[in-house]
Structure 1
Amino acid sequence: MSAQPPPPGHPPPPVPAAVQATVRELVDLSPVLTELGRRFTAAGFQAHLVGGSVRDALLAAGAGSPGVPGDLDVTTDARPEQTLELLRGWASSTWNTGIAFGTIGAEVRGLPVEITTFRADRYDRESRNPEVAWGDSLHDDLARRDFTVNAMAVSLGPDRTVTDPFGGLGDLLARRLRTPGSAADSFADDPLRMLRAVRFVAQLDLTPGDDVVAAMTGMHGELARITAERVQHELSRTLLNPDPRAALELFVSTGLADVVLPELSALRMEIDEHHQHKDVYVHSLTVLDRAIALEQAAGGPPDLVLRLAALLHDIGKPATRRHEARGRVSFHHHEVVGAKLVRKRLLALRYPKDVVEAVARLTFLHLRFHGYGRGEWTDSAVRRYVTDAGDLLPRLNKLVRSDCTTRNQRRAAQLAATYDSLEQRIAELSAAEDLARVRPDLDGNRIMELLGVPPGPDVGRAWRFLKELRLERGPLDPEVAEAELLAWWAARDS
């Protein structure tokens, strides 16, 4: 079903009675909302379920799976101190960390609820921090929200009326993303809304209107006003959706990526006249698609580390591209350069250090498999592959398999079979040896006893020699390891 947005200056069509009835039923499924509505109404105040709560409830109803709205966001004409008083003795706990913005948090019978006073803010358009002002009108409160699909409200009073002044329901049905007013004004007030638009493309399968795309394209530089932490949060939420490709294409085409993740935009390299390398940008998006498919097939939750690595594994290619003889193109050591670029960019975006190091390590290792050839690796090489990957090995397996995007079916089948062979050898060696924890055959105490040295650098060097020996030859009997260590020590001193 599709619907056209209301013409400028005209009210949207009334909310159908069937929708009103559905929303009433959804609200009534939550005793907490019902009781909250009664408390506020009895005190002479309005209370409305609002924003994403209404949007998601309508989507769930449309999909035939109605249930209690997940996030309970309520707006009211009560001031924060009045809200606190109304919650006293009813909510098991309250918190006022957002009270400066009119928001009171509460927990009622295990359900978190956020209750915010109507707002009529003004923005200085130099930061994204508004000059907070209380409002008295639900309409005006909805008008300041980011998108029409988030500018709908349901009264928690007895009538359960749906308020939709900007045609959000029609946009939701048509899978259309619009702003309540001018998109340019909305994004000037809060540039983070442009990244939220990207996320909603992935999360809700919405298509942004032409004016939204034009405003994003013309104003992408305004993202520099937003803190790295907020940018990272939106980027991660986008990537963790089941199918983020269209959202990422919007992210790049509008120029937002130029500000947030310029290395991704840089992958759109001009293809050489002989077509000796594939479109690296399209390839990277395809690798992400394939990695998500493998992740979903394994039945696990969305994996941010794997998805970042799939998207960014080739970001070292633009800096390493070289034109060789006979029209060929090379990208020597792009995995080394790429790992450095990944580390620098993700740190700038304030990702946790463990995420940064994991993505950088996967980027560095993603080409290692191609040295396997037709299985020429020795057992020592397989041990090193597993040891270097460490606990990232399952992710590296998925990344390497996803990196095969050739359209040549014979070549694709050959690569898959080769990787099957490597995984089989890893499994066989793991059954015979503890590859997950490759350690020297002698511990530090025995090293010191044999060599007659105290704790210090010499013990570390001996430990590393024994680990290399373990990787090269596999597990050794203690007597053999001791003899090798003593021989190495004697040769070292001679």
Structure 2
Amino acid sequence: MDLTTATLALPAGFPADAALPAVVVELGRRFEAAGHELSLVGGPVRDLFLGRVSGDLDFTTDAGPDAAEAVGAGWADATWDVGRRFGTIGFRKAGWQLEVTTYRAEQYDPASRKPQVAFGDSLEEDLLRRDFTVNAMALRLPGLELVDPYGGVRDLAAGVLRTPGAPEDSFSDDPLRMLRAARFASQLGFTVADEVEAAMTAMAERIGIISAERVREELVKLVCGAHPRAGLDLLVRTGLADHVLPELPALQLESDEHHRHKDVYAHSLTVLEQAMELEGEYAPSTPDPVLRLAALLHDVGKPATRRFEKGGAVTFRHHETVGAKLVRKRLRALKFDNDTIKAVARLVELHMRFYGYGDAGWTDSAVRRYAHDAGDLLPRLHALTRSDVTTRNKRKAERLAHAYDDLERRIAEIAEQEELAAVRPDLDGEQIMALLGIRPGPVVGRAYRHLLEWRLDEGPHEPAEAEAELRRWWAEQPEAQQD
């Protein structure tokens, strides 16, 4: 039997097209033969009801990690035990990732970020300690008996998130589950039961004991879900966002009858949704966390730059510059990698650059600078700038769309003519040093930057023209006067 492709139909109660990889039942038979229980558990069972098969399959067992490892010995293609102290042994078989964890009861010290693990005695006890009822279902193996003591099927059908026990106990054991609630609201489009939201609100400060890395992973999964607005709204309503992404609720700027202005928070969520619609055309992946984070955070500089002008107008001058600094600070605090931090902050910094193009028009020099400054981020900048138009004024929206169409056309034309994506000065560093008779040092960098600016302003030149411009520039430099 080809375990990579073979599937088994599930018993009544599951969707007609739901099926399991045969490797699941085979592993169950091996545990049964060794005198142990084994159940498929959690997200993979939930996903079967949703018509999906998880790439990673999670199991729970009464066997300890040593016994579980022995069951897989000689059968699995590979074994790993990095989670042994938590009771987890991993197997790889026929392309599937299989993680087997001993029944456990897990609790957190109120002041600790790390779980205190105690192994449990039964499947029902293990299910009770899981985050939500829709993840607290199991399939006993190899017989494929559904175990659902806490109403997971009912809540899955209703599209609601509840905890198997009291939500206060669940969130006290692992505060990260509060962020998971928001993440599942985003990924699955579920609502959150009233008592769960109340507990999240009351216990929001407890998220502070969770490491930045774990918080970051949940936020990325939330933003990359199918319904991020639902998850983000939940974070803001419960006060969790105040602790993990305070720049977001800060966008709910207060206004009064004398100073009406756009709801920046609602605008930011709309921009995020519109950016999602453009991912297939402009982003390197779908979902694209860089584009989505930039869309969500593009206006975080507005609260610090808001000014009320005479006549009731509201301005946010230079909010893109301030916002880029805030984004860098927040993403660093959340332990994002440097490439993501630089990309998101740069998009925020550049997102206002386009405005005014449709009214005043740009020279070829300005178009070159726009593309050059965006660099590899140019497609994402196109998506972000287009998404930033949320006006209800149809005529204004069409005018901006046509203007950006024109800008993209001009970038494409200039790129074709000049290989814009790789714009460099007409002379390189070696040529600059040879012509000026200077050694490597800061002066070479200044000369290079001058030629680059000249190239962006006027386009490419013949070598003789570039040499003449370099000599003209050099004659004005204080170092030249010292020779």
TM band (smaller chain)? over 0.9
2-structure distance, mates of 1:476, 1:161:
76
Find the partner of 1:165 among 124, 149, 159.
149
Preserved CA contact (<8 Å) 2:176 2:210? yes
Partner residue, 2:100:
115
| Kept after mapping to 1: 8 A contact 2:282/2:383 | no
Distance change (3 Å), C-alpha of 1:440 and 1:20: closer
* Structure 2 match to 1:189: 173
Cα distance, 1:128 vs structure 2: 4.4
Contact 2:282/2:379 (8 A) holds in 1: no
Distance in 2, Cα, partners of 1:217 & 1:21: 36
Q: Mark the CA change 1:452 to 1:20 in structure 2 (over 3 Å): closer, same or farther.
A: closer
- Partner Cα separation in structure 1 for residue 423 and residue 354 of structure 2: 20
Aligned 8 A contact 2:259 2:308 in 1: no
Task: Name the residue aligned to 1:53.
Answer: 44
> Which residues in structure 2 correspond to 1:334-373 (within 5 Å)?
334-373=319-358
- CA deviation map 1:340-399 (0-9, x unaligned): 000000000000011001111111111110132435211111111111111110000000
Which residue in 2 is equivalent to 1:6? none
Q: For residues 210 and 296 of structure 1, what CA distance do their matches in structure 2 show?
A: 36
Aligned residue for 1:26? 19
Q: Does 1:266 align with 2:250?
A: yes
1:198 aligns to what SS in structure 2? helix
Q: Find the counterpart in structure 2 of residue 90 from structure 1.
A: 75
Match of 1:447 among 405, 427, 432: 432
> Aligned equivalents of 2:270 and 2:242: distance in 1?
20
- What corresponds to 1:133 in structure 2? 118
Q: Is 2:461 aligned against 1:470?
A: no
Equivalent residue for 2:196, pick from 196, 202, 212 = 212
CA distance in 1, matches of 2:453, 2:60: 64
Could you tell me how far apart the structure 1 residues matched to 2:456 and 2:201 are? 53
Q: Distance in 1 between matches of 2:105 and 2:429?
A: 68
How do 1:263-412 and structure 2 match up within 5 A? 263-296=247-280, 300-412=285-397
Distance across 1 between alignment mates of 2:47 and 2:440: 62
- What is the percent sequence identity of the aligned residues? 59
Partner of 2:27: 36
Among 204, 211, 218, which residue is 1:234 paired with?
A: 218
Give SS of 2:268's match. Answer: helix
- In 2, are the aligned partners of 1:128 and 1:191 still within 8 Å (CA)? no
SS at 1:122 equivalent: strand
Q: How does 1:425-440 map to 2 (within 5 A)?
A: 425-440=410-425
Distance in 1, Cα, partners of 2:449 & 2:102: 63
Amino acid at match of 2:381: L
> 2:4 maps to which residue?
none
Q: CA RMSD in A?
A: 1.7
Structure 1 residue 20: deviation in Å? 6.2
Query: Any gaps of 5 or more consecutive residues in structure 2?
Result: 1-9
Rounded to whole Å, the distance in 2 between the matches of 1:17 and 1:386 is 57
Following TM superposition, by how much is the alpha carbon of 1:301 offset from its aligned partner in structure 2, in angstroms? 1.8
Deviation, structure 1 residue 17: 7.0
Q: Quick one: which of 111, 118, 127 aligns to 1:142?
A: 127
CA distance in 1, matches of 2:376, 2:102: 48
CA distance in 2, matches of 1:121, 1:409: 55
Greater alpha carbon shift after TM alignment, 455-464 vs 170-179: 455-464
Give the SS at the match of 2:365: helix
Question: Quick check: 1:52–1:71 contact (8 Å CA) kept in 2?
Answer: no
Q: Is the 8 A contact 2:11 2:144 kept in 1?
A: no
Structure 1 residue 298, shift from structure 2 partner: 5.4
Letter aligned with residue 211 of structure 1: E
Q: 1: distance between equivalents of 2:112 and 2:310?
A: 52
Aligned to 1:244: 228
Q: Contact conserved, 2:236 with 2:249, CA < 8 A, in 1?
A: yes
Q: State whether residues 113 and 211 of structure 2, in contact with CA within 8 Å, keep that contact through their aligned partners in structure 1.
A: no
1:11 aligns with none
1:69, distance to aligned residue in structure 2 (A) = 4.4
- Contact 2:80 2:89 survives alignment (8 Å): yes
Deviates further, 79-88 or 126-135: 126-135
Q: Is the 8 A contact 2:14 2:48 kept in 1?
A: no
Rate the CA distance shift 1:232–1:329 in 2: closer, same or farther, 3 A: same
- What SS does the corresponding residue of 2:476 show, helix, strand or coil? helix
Q: Does 1:199 align with 2:190?
A: no
User: Which residue in 1 is equivalent to 2:161?
Assistant: 177
Q: Secondary structure at the match of 2:389?
A: coil
Residue 5 of structure 2 aligns with which residue? none
What one-letter code is carried by the residue in structure 2 that aligns with 1:119?
R
Q: Structure 2-normalised TM-score?
A: 0.94
1:396 aligned partner, one-letter code: L
- Is the Cα–Cα contact under 8 Å of residues 358 and 400 in structure 2 kept in the other structure? no
**Residues 375, 421 of structure 1: 8 Å contact kept:** no
| Cα separation, partners in 2 of 1:69 and 1:466, compared to 1, 3 Å | closer
In the alignment, the residues of structure 2 paired with residue 165 and residue 442 of structure 1 have an alpha-carbon distance, to the nearest angstrom, of 73
Deviation of residue 26 (structure 1)?
A: 2.5
- Give, in whole Å, the separation in 1 of the partners of 2:456 and 2:83: 55
Q: Which moved more, 1:242-251 or 1:407-416?
A: 242-251
Deviation of the 1:21 alpha carbon: 9.0
Instruction: Specify every segment of 5 or more residues in structure 1 that has no aligned partner in the other structure, as ranges.
Output: 1-15, 61-66
Counterpart-to-counterpart distance in 1, 2:424 and 2:302: 35
Structure 2: how far apart are the matches of 1:411 and 1:186?
Answer: 50
